[in-house]
């Protein structure tokens, strides 16, 4: 292994940042002037129907779906950093799979894939169709003998739910992927044609642009508190958001889509949310040998890698997984064990070279590692869309639609997401998903 010197975020994320900042500087000032009043200065009490806190992929998707379902709604996205310098949506590996062990996660991604395929036309603005860069070589889950029964059982469940995943015994694996070392493996499952990756920052930008083109407003500001209606009322209801600059924004419904920062925001409403900011480093590396038809590979030892253009990206669960570590890539995570594991699985990786690395936060739901959605029992006009624990990018299209349905219709109309209700925290009801990566 040799190491290069570049340690910045990927080009796509950097380009997105500056594009959005330029545009937002003017648009946000206009939006602020149009929507937000200074409560402390006694100006008239302006109100939006829905205030979404956080304009990452989840906030943008919820806003887009809301405008689509009811164009008459006044929807505001409140975002403290319109350059999205730390947002997970700009730091994601942006991959999509159907190989989950819980039916709801399979269904969320099935809709995600359908949406991504149609995104260029769905998200076009003024005839300009965004390039999402979807490619679908699949995920390849690999099993040692001890993991084979579990992989077979998951495969059966995935097939039962319409996921076109192939089961490949060792010989079939070796025939299909000549670059893969298979001696210690018994089995693999592959979703070629139904799984893959895409340009996440481009999807984020496109959703935000399309939501705004339909009338949603983006407001630059940090939400620091909530003004409750009927103080002392046990049921609780939010009357307005309090922004760091003293601004007051009244709203009918508020949505916490604050990603890895959802927990401190929930605390401001008196809610303890088990969502923690956990840093994940993604390594970019090159290899002189081409790996034909390389999917996103999940090694039984826990690491993953996939092609990214002519290079590769990969990562693993860090040994030190404390909350809120600085958003710098931890190069020490590319340790001997990781490199040895990569070179063991793909002999050509003996010659790999690290080119780059970046880090982002998983909004990790330590209760059960699955999304926390919908209204909170303690504050019934505060909805949640967080806790995705590493699979929020692919789930954003279906989650946005679901949250918009809850707000507009009072119930899920398409895919029933109630199993992921945030109310399960109080009920002690865990959703078990075996295939959480990292
Ligand atoms: C390294 C990495 C790899 C990943 N790989 C994948 C993958 O392959 N596939 C997949 O599906 N998912 C993946 N994910 C997960 C996915 O990227 C996230 O689940 C998703 O981007 C979360 O989107 P979000 O909108 O909830 O959060 P974010 O994109 O973080 O947006 C939240 C926004 O809220 C704003 N905010 C926070 N607090 C406030 C406040 N008080 N007031 C105003 N604004 C506020 C923040 O500034 C931020 O812009 C990955 C994540 C990481 C970090």
Nearest to 208 by CA among 341, 387, 57, 31: 57
143, HSE (Cβ side, Cα atoms, 13 Å): 20
- The CATH code that applies to domain 11-93+201-275+368-427 is 3.50.50.60
Output the CA 21–ligand 1 centroid distance in Å. Answer: 18
Low-confidence ranges of the chain (pLDDT < 50): 1-44
β-partners of residue 53 are: 78, 256
DSSP structure string for 68-114: HH-TTS-EEEEES-TT-SS-GGGS---EE----SSHHHHHHHHHHHH
pLDDT of residue 437: 75
pLDDT of residue 351: 97
- The CATH code that applies to domain 134-193+279-361 is 3.30.9.10
Q: Which residue's alpha carbon is nearest to atom 15 within ligand 1?
A: 390
Summarised one tens digit per residue, pLDDT across range 85-110 is 999 999 999 999 999 999 999 999 99
- pTM confidence score: 0.92
Same fold, 11-93+201-275+368-427 and 134-193+279-361: no
Task: Please state, as a whole number, how many other Cβ atoms lie within 10 Å of the Cβ of residue 119.
Answer: 22
Q: Which residue's alpha carbon is nearest to atom 51 within ligand 1?
A: 92
Output the CA 258–ligand 1 centroid distance in Å. Answer: 8
pLDDT of residue 364: 97
Show me where the domains of the chain are located: 11-93+201-275+368-427, 134-193+279-361
Q: Which atom of ligand 1 is the closest one to the Cα of 89?
A: 21
Distance CA 422, CA 380 (A): 11
- Angle (nearest 5°) at CA 178 between 172 and 182: 60
Q: Which atom of ligand 1 is the closest one to the Cα of 200?
A: 17
Summarised one tens digit per residue, pLDDT across range 126-165 is 999 999 999 999 999 999 999 999 999 999 999 999 999 9
- E strands of 111-172, at which residues? 139-143, 166-169
Q: Which atom of ligand 1 is the closest one to the Cα of 54?
A: 34
- E strands of 84-133, at which residues? 95-96
pLDDT of residue 35: 46
Backbone φ and ψ of 206, nearest 5°: -65, -40
CA dihedral 361, 427, 429, 55 (to 10 degrees): -30
Output the CA 105–ligand 1 centroid distance in Å. Answer: 18
CB 387 within 8 A of CB 371: yes
Ligand 1 is surrounded, with C-beta below 6 A, by 53-59, 78-81, 84, 87-89, 91-95, 222-223, 257-261, 265, 280, 282, 360-363, 386, 388, 390-394
- Residue 272 burial class via C-beta count within 10 angstroms: exposed 0-12, middle 13-18, buried 19 and up: exposed
135, HSE (Cβ side, Cα atoms, 13 Å): 11
Output the CA 148–ligand 1 centroid distance in Å. Answer: 33
pLDDT of residue 338: 94
Q: Would you say how long the chain is, in residues?
A: 438
């Amino acid at each position: 292994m040799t190491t290069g010197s570049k340690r910045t975020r990927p080009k796509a994320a950097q380009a997105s940042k500056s594009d959005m900042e330029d545009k937002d500087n003017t648009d946000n000032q206009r939006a602020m002037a149009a929507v937000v009043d200074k409560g402390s200065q006694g100006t008239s009490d302006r109100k939006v129907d829905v205030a979404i806190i956080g304009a990452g992929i989840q906030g943008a998707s919820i806003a887009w779906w809301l405008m689509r379902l009811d164009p008459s709604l006044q929807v505001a996205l409140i975002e403290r950093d319109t350059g999205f310098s730390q947002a997970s949506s700009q730091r994601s590996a942006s991959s999509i799979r159907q190989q989950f062990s819980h039916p709801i996660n399979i269904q969320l991604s099935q809709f995600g894939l359908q949406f991504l395929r149609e995104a260029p036309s769905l998200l076009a603005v003024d005839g300009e169709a965004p390039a999402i860069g979807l490619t679908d070589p699949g995920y390849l889950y690999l099993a040692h003998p001890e993991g084979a029964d579990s992989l077979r059982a998951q495969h059966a469940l995935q097939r039962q739910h319409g996921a076109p995943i192939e089961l490949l015994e060792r010989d079939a694996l070796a025939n299909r992927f000549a670059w893969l070392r298979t001696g210690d493996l018994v089995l693999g499952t592959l979703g070629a044609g139904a799984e893959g990756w895409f340009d996440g920052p481009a999807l984020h930008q496109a959703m935000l642009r399309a939501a705004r083109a339909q009338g949603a407003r983006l407001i630059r500001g940090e939400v620091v508190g909530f003004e409750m209606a009927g103080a002392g009322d046990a049921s609780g209801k939010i009357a307005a958001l309090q922004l760091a600059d003293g601004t007051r924004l009244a709203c009918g419904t508020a949505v916490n889509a604050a990603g890895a920062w959802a927990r401190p925001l929930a605390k401001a409403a008196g809610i303890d949310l088990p969502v923690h900011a956990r840093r994940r480093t993604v390594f970019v590396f090159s290899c002189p040998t081409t790996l034909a038809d390389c999917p996103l590979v999940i090694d039984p030892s826990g690491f993953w890698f996939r092609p990214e253009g002519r290079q590769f990206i990969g990562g693993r669960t860090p040994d030190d997984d404390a909350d809120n570590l600085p958003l710098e890539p931890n190069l020490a995570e590319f340790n001997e064990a990781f490199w040895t594991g990569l070179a063991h699985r793909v002999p050509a990786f003996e010659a790999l070279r690290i080119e780059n690395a970046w880090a982002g936060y998983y909004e990790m739901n330590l209760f059960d590692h699955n999304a926390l959605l919908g209204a909170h029992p303690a504050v019934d006009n505060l909805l949640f869309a967080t806790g995705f624990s590493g699979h929020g990018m692919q789930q954003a299209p279906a989650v946005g639609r679901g949250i918009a349905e809850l707000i507009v219709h009072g119930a899920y109309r398409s895919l029933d997401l109630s199993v992921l209700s945030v109310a399960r925290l109080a009920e002690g009801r865990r959703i078990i998903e075996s295939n959480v990566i990292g």
